[in-house]
Amino acid sequence: MPRYFIELAYKGTRYAGFQKQDNANTIQAELEKALSIYCRTNFELTGSSRTDAGVHARQNFFHFDTDTLPAATDFLKLAYHINAILPDDIVVKTLFPVAEQAHCRFDALFRRYEYRIYTDKDPFQQDMAYHYPYKLNRNTLEGAAEELLNHTDFESFAKRNSQVFTHNCTIISSAWEFNPGHLIYKVQANRFLRGMVKGLVGTMLRAATKGQTIEQFREIILSKDASRAEFAVPSKGLTLIEVGFPAINEA
């Protein structure tokens, strides 16, 4: 059966997450509903990278299988009509056919996230960033971000009860960007554990605020004990920026 990829972006403030859930509105539920309304058939979508409640995405993907779309489908026009049905905080960017074996989750080579923080009160950032008005040690933040590149087991930064076979991740890049009044943590890896980016950010902020050393931060990583990490940063600061694929073999 023909397979299609959908690239989308969304503001996650009003949603309980990316993946469909019982008794909660999600990005997947809204997109499946819009597709079903326009195409007059039910759709089941497979997502590439789950995001939790309140997390945003500049780029994420679903794929689906259907034999209801004619070969001559104008996909730009289809995306236009789907966007007319979707709420304003979700947008389909592209929709295109791929090879039948293509998989938007398992074929992804990396995911890239950003976590945004602003230090001065700013009503224009409050939905998309975390207000953190405390004094931070820049050297600690930079050193902690660099330290992460030396490790592969991130069990300390995985939420408990996460059902995964391994806590190993390959972090490709990890760095803080500093600007007047705000800063951004940028991280790219082949995969992320549930809650991992928020755990990394929260633990680094605590270290840079409380005067902890890089050695103490390293001990948290090596402990494989999530109770020693800090996850209490809001989801609104987190955005999935990119899901990277090899050259997609379009059908």
pLDDT in tens, 5-19: 999 999 999 999 998
* Count of Cβ atoms closer than 10 Å to residue 127 Cβ: 13
Phi, psi of 108 (to 5 degrees): -65, 135
Which SS3 state, helix, strand or coil, does residue 179 take?
strand
Q: Which residues lie closer than 8 Å to 36 by C-beta, 6 or more apart?
A: 42, 43
Rounded Cα distance between 179 and 175, Å, is 13
pLDDT in tens, 102-140: 999 999 999 999 999 999 999 999 999 999 999 999 999
Q: pLDDT value at position 43?
A: 87
Q: Please say if the pLDDT value at position 41 is more than 60.
A: yes
* Alpha-carbon separation of residue 193 from 72, 98, 154, 184 (angstroms): 40, 27, 8, 20
Q: What is the pTM of this model?
A: 0.94
Q: pLDDT value at position 99?
A: 92
Q: pLDDT value at position 50?
A: 82
What is the DSSP code string of 40-55?
SS----EESS--BTT-
Q: State the CATH architecture for 110-241.
A: 2-Layer Sandwich (3.30)
Active site members: 52
What percent of the chain is predicted at pLDDT more than 70? Answer: 97
What is the DSSP code string of 211-232?
T--HHHHHHHHHHT-GGGS---
Average pLDDT of the chain is: 93
- Where does residue 116 rank: exposed (0-12), middle (13-18), buried (19+ CB within 10 A)? buried
Residue 52's Cβ-side half-sphere holds a number of Cα atoms within 13 Å equal to 16
What residue ranges of the chain are covered by domains with CATH 3.30.70.660?
110-241
What residue ranges of the chain are covered by domains with CATH 3.30.70.580?
3-106
Q: Tell me the CATH number for domain 3-106.
A: 3.30.70.580
Query: And the tokens for 58?
Result: 């500049």
Q: Which residues lie closer than 8 Å to 194 by C-beta, 6 or more apart?
A: 50, 52, 158, 159, 162, 164
Tell me the pLDDT band of 51, cut-offs 50, 70 and 90: confident
Rounded Cα distance between 1 and 44, Å, is 14
Q: pLDDT value at position 162?
A: 63
Q: Please say if the pLDDT value at position 250 is more than 60.
A: no
Tell me the pLDDT band of 54, cut-offs 50, 70 and 90: very high
pLDDT in tens, 133-147: 999 999 999 999 999
Q: Residue 223 region, left (φ>0) first, then alpha (ψ -120 to 50), else beta?
A: alpha
Kindly report the length of the chain: 251
Higher pLDDT, 205 or 247: 205
- Where does residue 123 rank: exposed (0-12), middle (13-18), buried (19+ CB within 10 A)? exposed
Q: pLDDT value at position 144?
A: 98
